[in-house]
């Protein structure tokens, strides 16, 4: 059964000086000090209130129909269930269920651990185990609170079992807790006007065809840590489904190197997808001003941050637009200035939306949903078509549903799940 009509970095932490939001479970009892708001030029695009819809739009490949499925608070990630319906994370710390008819269960799913929810921290990516039909294992990335200091947090990945319609996860456990505990005051001296410690967690999850779990980890606004190969800042990890280290990771067994790392050199990787035509892993990344990126990820690749950047730092320092540096991989796409503020990305493989097969779709906070034509190698070609800009939303996630329709999440306090189908 398919969902019925009725229709999302964290953004760059310095550009988002938020206030504590209550998670479903306990938040820090003594939150860190609220930072000074950034200057007006650095403040994020807030978006506009989303109407009731539905809406019809003309695109280069025909008309599309957009409808609201459900209203949620800061929805971040979604996973389609094999029996129909979906699970959706809300960044404020809730897991929600939408059934196959498109009905949102008003009661959140419990059993989640306590989370750190200051600023852009909270509950992020979600993925189902490849054998979910039999084991019902759900994986989620979140910001974990230090048991010793409520101002300190790190990226973690939990898993738990969920039965259809249940309001509680069971067998909940952390399978990975990053060694990036950070936030104790005073913060260490850092360059370039980097933002507060409650940002740049990464947190996108993805299983590949071989059953390995990929996890994105941000730099936590401490970019100097990223190029140290022993740290877990600014990395993409490859794990077994129980969190253990699989064979074949590029730095297994090398002294001074983190063995979970698959690729390194990222600021805040918020999107992760596999091109079904090529099997390649792709990533989208919140960079500094004018440094947002889309990257093709290769085993052992180094994508440059903070040594190599094509953006401008938040203290106004003009970074060089560096490219073609030995040992570093340049982005396939770079945006800005102004910044695009990318969310998740996907390669559309269906036939439901005519003319879109093989296209790269990139959610963004400021420039709508970007659709790129691609060549036979999956490379985006030409200029993108900017879709859904009229709705004024901060698009967090974009994914193709099993029926070939497209689903999007909006990163808004009054957020939404939306569905895109062909127009009449």
In angstroms, the CA 372 to CA 132 distance is: 32
Can you give the pLDDT of all 424 residues of the chain as single tens digits?
333 333 233 323 323 323 223 333 333 333 333 333 333 344 556 789 999 999 999 999 999 999 999 999 999 999 999 999 999 999 999 999 999 999 999 999 999 999 999 989 999 999 999 999 999 999 999 999 999 999 999 999 999 999 998 999 999 999 999 999 999 999 999 998 898 999 999 999 999 999 999 999 999 999 999 999 999 999 999 999 999 999 999 999 999 999 999 999 999 999 999 999 999 999 999 998 888 999 999 999 999 999 888 888 888 776 655 778 899 999 999 998 788 999 999 999 999 999 999 999 999 999 999 999 999 889 999 999 999 999 999 999 999 999 999 999 999 999 999 999 999 8
- The token pair at 422 is 């062909």
What is the per-residue pLDDT for 319? 61
- The token pair at 273 is 């997808």
In angstroms, the CA 81 to CA 56 distance is: 27
Straight-line distance from the first to the last Cα atom of the chain, in angstroms, rounded to the nearest whole number: 22
What is the per-residue pLDDT for 20? 29
In angstroms, the CA 12 to CA 293 distance is: 13
In angstroms, the CA 223 to CA 255 distance is: 22
- The token pair at 120 is 């852009």
In angstroms, the CA 351 to CA 359 distance is: 11
CB-based contact 49:410 (threshold 8 Å): no
3-class SS letters over 341-410: CEEEEEECCCCCCCCCCCCEEEEECCCCEEEEEECCCCCEEEEEEEECHHHCCCEEEEEECCCCCEEEEE
Q: What are phi and psi for residue 223, nearest 5 degrees?
A: -60, -25
What is the per-residue pLDDT for 325? 87
Q: Exposed, middle or buried, 359 (CB in 10 Å: 0-12/13-18/19+)?
A: buried
- The token pair at 369 is 């949903």
- The token pair at 171 is 């067998």
pTM beyond 0.95, yes or no:
no
Residue 109 DSSP class: B
What is the per-residue pLDDT for 44? 58
Length of the chain: 424
Q: Could you tell me which residues come within 8 angstroms of residue 120 by beta carbon, excluding any fewer than 6 positions away? A: 9, 10, 11, 13, 16, 18, 91, 198, 199, 201
- Integer angstrom CA distances of residue 71 from 357, 375, 408, 414: 29, 36, 12, 7
CB-based contact 167:112 (threshold 8 Å): no
- The token pair at 146 is 């230090």
Domain 13-422: CATH class, spelled out: mainly beta
User: Between β-strands 235-239 and 261-264, what pairing exists: parallel, antiparallel or unpaired?
Assistant: antiparallel
Closest CA to 292 of 1, 5, 4, 11: 11
Radius of gyration of the chain (CA): 20
């Amino acid at each position: 059964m398919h969902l019925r009509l009725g229709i999302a970095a964290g953004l760059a932490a310095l550009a988002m000086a938020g206030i504590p939001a209550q998670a479903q479970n306990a938040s820090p009892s003594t939150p860190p000090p609220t930072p000074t708001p950034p200057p007006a030029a650095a403040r994020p695009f807030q978006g506009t209130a989303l109407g009731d819809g539905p809406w019809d739009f003309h695109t280069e490949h025909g008309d599309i129909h957009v409808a609201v499925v459900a209203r949620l608070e800061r929805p971040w990630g979604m996973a389609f269930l094999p029996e129909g319906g979906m699970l959706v994370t809300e960044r404020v710390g809730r897991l929600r269920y939408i059934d196959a008819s498109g009905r949102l269960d008003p009661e959140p799913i419990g059993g989640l651990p306590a989370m750190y929810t200051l600023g852009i921290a909270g509950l992020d990516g979600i993925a189902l185990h490849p054998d979910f039909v039999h084991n019902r294992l759900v994986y989620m990335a979140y910001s974990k609170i230090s048991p010793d200091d409520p101002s300190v947090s790190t990226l973690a990945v939990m898993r738990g079992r969920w039965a259809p319609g249940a309001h509680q996860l069971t067998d909940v456990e952390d399978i990975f807790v990053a060694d990036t505990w950070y936030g104790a005051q005073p913060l260490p001296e850092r360059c370039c006007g980097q933002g507060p410690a409650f940002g740049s967690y990464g947190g996108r999850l993805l299983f590949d065809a071989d059953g390995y779990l990929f996890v994105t980890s941000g730099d936590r606004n401490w970019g100097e840590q990223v190029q140290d190969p022993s740290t877990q800042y600014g990395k993409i990890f490859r794990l077994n489904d129980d969190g253990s280290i699989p064979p074949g990771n590029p730095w297994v067994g090398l002294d001074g190197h983190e063995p979970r790392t698959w690729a390194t050199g990222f600021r805040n990787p918020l999107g992760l997808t596999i091109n079904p035509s090529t099997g390649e892993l792709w990533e989208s990344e919140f960079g500094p001003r004018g440094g947002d990126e889309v990257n093709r990820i290769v085993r052992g690749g180094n994508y440059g941050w903070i040594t190599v950047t094509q953006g401008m730092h938040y203290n106004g320092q003009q970074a060089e637009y560096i490219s073609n540096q030995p040992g570093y991989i340049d982005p396939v796409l770079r945006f800005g200035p102004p910044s695009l503020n990318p969310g998740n990305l996907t390669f559309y493989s269906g036939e439901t939306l005519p003319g879109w097969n093989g296209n790269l779709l990139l959610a963004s906070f400021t420039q709508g949903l970007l659709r790129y034509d691609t060549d036979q190698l999956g490379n985006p070609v030409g200029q993108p078509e900017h879709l859904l800009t009229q709705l004024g939303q901060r698009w967090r996630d974009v994914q193709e549903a099993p029926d070939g329709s497209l689903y999007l999440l909006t990163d808004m306090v009054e957020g939404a799940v939306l569905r895109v189908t062909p127009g009449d």
